[in-house]
Chains A and B, each alone.
Chain A
Amino acid sequence: MFSHIRTIWLTFLHLFHKKVTIEYPDEKVKLHPRWRGRIVLTKDPDGGERCVGCYLCAAACPVDCIALQATEDENGRRYPEFFRINFSRCIFCGFCEEACPTYAIQLIPDFEMAEYKRQNLVFEKEDLLINSEGKYPGYNFYKVAGMNAGVKEKGKGEEEEEPVDVFSLLP
């Protein structure tokens, strides 16, 4: 019984506490770097598309709002032929960013993307791609992958030995 009264009293005292409400949009919100807002596709330090079209973001997406199709350039470098995010379905959970093995897909601190038409919330690759490395500067997937996709030759990557000489046994 006493605890009830104490609860009522403590709640009453909150009348005089400082309010936490931020009066958006009069007052802008301070967004932290890891805020999960609008999704972007970043580029690697060489300016190439980071996305390799591995479909992991699409598979991780709990609302299945990411669809893409992988394709290859003449060097065998994978990139998305199209990359579509239906933001009218997105719940900004950030699973896609976590799933991305190449740091390509990133959630940035921007949430002001309301639209009057739902159709305008369907973002294509051109809308998503930004000319920046985002939160993870310096990373270039093809430098650490084993494949030669026109970025580095076999054996020239980080932590790679020169290619094996298959004829080493010959006299």
Chain B
Amino acid sequence: MTIYIDNKPYEAKAGKNLLEACLAAGINLPYFCWHPSLGSVGACRQCAVKVFKDEKDTQGRLVMSCMEGVRDGVRIGVEEATAKAFREQVIEWMMTNHPHDCPVCDEGGSCHLQDMTVMTGHDYRRYHYKKRTYKNQYLGPLINHEMNRCIQCYRCVRYYHDYAGGDDLNVFAAHNHVYFGRDKDGVLQSPFSGNLAEVCPTGVFTDKTLKEHYTRKWDLTMAPSVCTHCSVGCNITAGERYGKLRCVVNRYNEEVNGYFLCDRGRFGYEFVNSENRVTQPLIRGRMSEAVSEEELMHELSVLLSQQKLVGIGSARASLESNFALRQLVGAGNFYAGISETEAYLTRLIVQVMQEGTLHSASLKDIEQADAVIVLGEDVWNTAPMMALAVRQAAMKTAANNAAAQLSLPAWHDAAIKELVQTDKGFLANITVAGSPIDNIAQVTVHAVPDDIARLGFAVAHELSNTLPALANADEKLLQTARQIAAALQQSKHPVIVSGLSCVNSAVIRAAFDIAAALNNTHWKASVAYVLPECNSMGLALMQAPSAERIFDSSNANDMTALILENDLYRYLPQATADAFFSRCSNVIALDSIHNNTTEKAQVLIPAATFAEADGSMVNYEGRTQHYYKVFIPKEGHIKESFHWLNSMRIAKNNRSNGHGLSLDELLHEAEIEMPVFEGVHDAMLSPHYSIHGEHIPREPHRYSGRTAMYANLNVSEQKPLQEEGESAFGFTMEGFKGQPPADAAPFFWSPGWNSGQSVTKYQQEPGGAFKGHIPAVQLFHDKVDKAPVFFKDIPEAFVARKQKWLVLPQYHVLASGELSSYTKALASLLPEACVVLSETDAALLGVRDGDKIRVHPGTTALPVKVHLSLANGVVLISAGLPGTEVYNWGDWVKIEKE
């Protein structure tokens, strides 16, 4: 439909409000309380425009554009004098109490309030009275609170409480002194609290880790990157200055993370700056262990000429690095650095997804689902952003139902909330030990993995009679199954979420059966399997056997092992890992951080982290995403793993032409070698990409200090670090001055829009797809016509054994990935590792909360935590936390009282 803004016609979408229509049309209209993900409440009165009755109406009436829907032919005035004066006045009112803090405020330079103030034209304080002040609160090590700066837009509470489901941040007091905070000082409990820093239009909530090494947005060297802390692969923008990574902020991706990140992703970047980094090639057992690159390559060429060369790939290294290793050691000697159980399960998932009979659900699909079954996966802890998406599905379904009743527009947040009250969409959360999303679920089941799988198969049976029924099932289970099946049958786009966290293949099969059974009538269900690491899917697609399989080969002795970015002690039980190393005569490790595995290495090679490297990763849904180098580390020896491996390949093959493979050549080779990766190079902006012959600058045009940053070292400026034809991005502020392609924008900025909200200028409409959006590279292809092959082997019901327990991992939301725990702020929030037992089992063992027990074959004793709804016969052990041990998850263990 057509709307008229200042007498010019614009196309607008039905169902949007006037503010969204104006922003989509590229008109600068200030706003505060509205947010594309949060909808409108009309709290800030900032987006006032005039609406006219018809062409003849010159008077018009002032309305809040966020509270008025788009109507065909509506005439509005944005530049209308009264509307402008009104908006300026609103800002002036807000400014009467806003402190004189900008110079010391972390938001300055990327502050929505600053942008909007400039936009309305308010520039001089006429109010000569005192300013209101507040006391601040301690909100933990991640978020800083400076309440004086508040402009009472309510975004924080609407995000934290309504959107993310946190219940410890609220609004207090009344009229002109409302207060946003907790009831008392304390750490914010939600693992999505970091988004407050971006949601808050000014500096009330700011990133506390950035404060440690504060840098303004305009001074950061930034690049489009991808979070490496879980398998979701949220898009991030990482910023560097003086050779240190300074912060990570959200990079909008409509289909993945939208506007938000979890705290693990946002604050888990600090490992890049860790003291514990490997910065120098080391050859152990020499007089001076740190060696030059020539010495290293000399040593390597000797080692690589050994006969028994094996390569251990990594689930957290890029596709390129894994492939380069595979090429170096040969496909037959390439193993995945994960346990056999994990390898088996991921292979099963890959097999299921490659069938193509089920659609792989993106986070957006999950958010828009009207029924979600979480089958056995602890999404909150293993893929937090997916948990947030699951929550949105439940909230949005209820909102859509309510909106349909009264034909309310979807953006009318306050009205819809009023109508919805506590209604939720259908969510069945079936887990081993419960999860914080239980409280929004219609159905919550806590059960052992086999029983979870049985429930899944029962649901599948309810949906399709052709599938086998459960043998000797109890009535309660069947009742739950019927309830779930009924909800699924009514839904239009259900999503089944499952994954590896209960270490059970039957659960994965059951999840498939449910979704496939739903698709019997029409193609509507999609499925999401959560994997442990950021590139678990990429590694799984390479179809390499697990590291444990090395023992199977007959001559697994005196091996020379090349271990790529992998701490084997995190994936294999200590005894297995030790056994592996005892059979290696030489260990060459490439890693960025010193860990137990690098300790075992004779040759240690410094690898780049995600911030210093280019690379591609495949997320849980098969989406290939490329991350770009943010900066070149000052320690010149740190290089991308694939770079090192390519050099080794040249050294090994004695190819004397001396030049290695570039990134796109490597990807090209991978696509030929492994057709499953067909098209992965499309996920990357070609290194030869340029706009009018200019590359995209990684630095904003107002980057400062160029001639003084390193003047203390040498007053003559060094040449900018420029890799010739190696990247579409440049390391300076020179280059293309216009708007870069939105999908690969190093940072979001637009004239007059310095804050992250400038992303609107890159979108076709607020909260929509990017302008010129390039479709994602999806490695799994839907095959609608193909009939699914159902799994029909249903496990027996779980029976607790005597003196033996089924051992399962208990992940923690901030530490289920390997690297995030190297961040100081996150580490301080991690709980103590513990062993979780059911009440009965604890009584059986005669232990109480806090008593220490030892779980065999582990060596350290851990405190007990008694769980009320945990099934008997299961023991959960903290996994991923520093100092925890790895078990053969899903195995039976003995417990010993300390």
Contact = CB atoms under 8 A, between A and B. Distances in A.
Direct contact of A and B (CB under 8 A): yes
Interface in A48-65: 52-56, 58-59, 61, 63-65
Contact of A119 (B108, B242, B705, B715): B715
B473 interface: no
B287 interface: no
A54 B103 contact: yes
Interface stretch (B13-21, B388-396, B706-714, B840-848): B706-714
B302 interface: no
Interface in A121-171: 121-122, 124, 141, 144-149, 154-155, 157, 159-169
Nearest to A82: B712
Nearest to B241: A69
Contacts of A168: 173-174, 177
Interface stretch (A1-9, A23-31, A85-93): A85-93
A54 B102 contact: yes
A89 B708 contact: yes
A166 B272 CA distance: 41
Contact of B715 (A86, A124, A154): A86
A147 B711 contact: no
Instruction: For chain A, give the interface size range.
Output: 35 or more
B434 to A, nearest CB: 34
A58 B704 contact: yes
A37 to B, nearest CB: 18
A53 B133 CA distance: 24
A164 B134 contact: yes
B103 A59 contact: no
Contacts of A64: 703-708
Contact of A166 (B179, B214, B705): B179
Interface in A85-106: 85-86, 88-89, 101-102
Contact of A145 (B101, B216, B706, B715): B101
Nearest to B176: A164
B135 interface: yes
Contacts of A55: 109, 215-216, 218-219, 704
B173 A101 contact: no
Interface string A76-89: 00100010111011
Which of B134, B219, B711: most chain A Cβ within 10 A? Answer: B711
Nearest to B179: A166
A46 interface: no
A164 B146 contact: no
Contacts of A147: 99, 101, 104, 146, 148
A52 B104 contact: yes
A149 B213 CA distance: 17
Interface in B457-514: none
Contacts of B101: 145-147
Contacts of A41: none
A86 B177 contact: no
B711 A122 contact: yes
A72 interface: yes
Interface of B: 98-104, 108-109, 129-136, 146, 148-149, 172-174, 177, 179, 181, 211, 213-216, 218-219, 242, 702-709, 711-712, 714-716
15 contacts: A53-B214, A54-B103, A55-B218, A58-B705, A59-B109, A66-B704, A68-B705, A84-B709, A86-B715, A88-B715, A154-B133, A160-B130, A163-B134, A165-B173, A166-B173
Given A71-B213, A147-B101, 8 more contacts: A52-B103, A54-B104, A67-B708, A69-B242, A84-B711, A147-B104, A166-B181, A168-B173
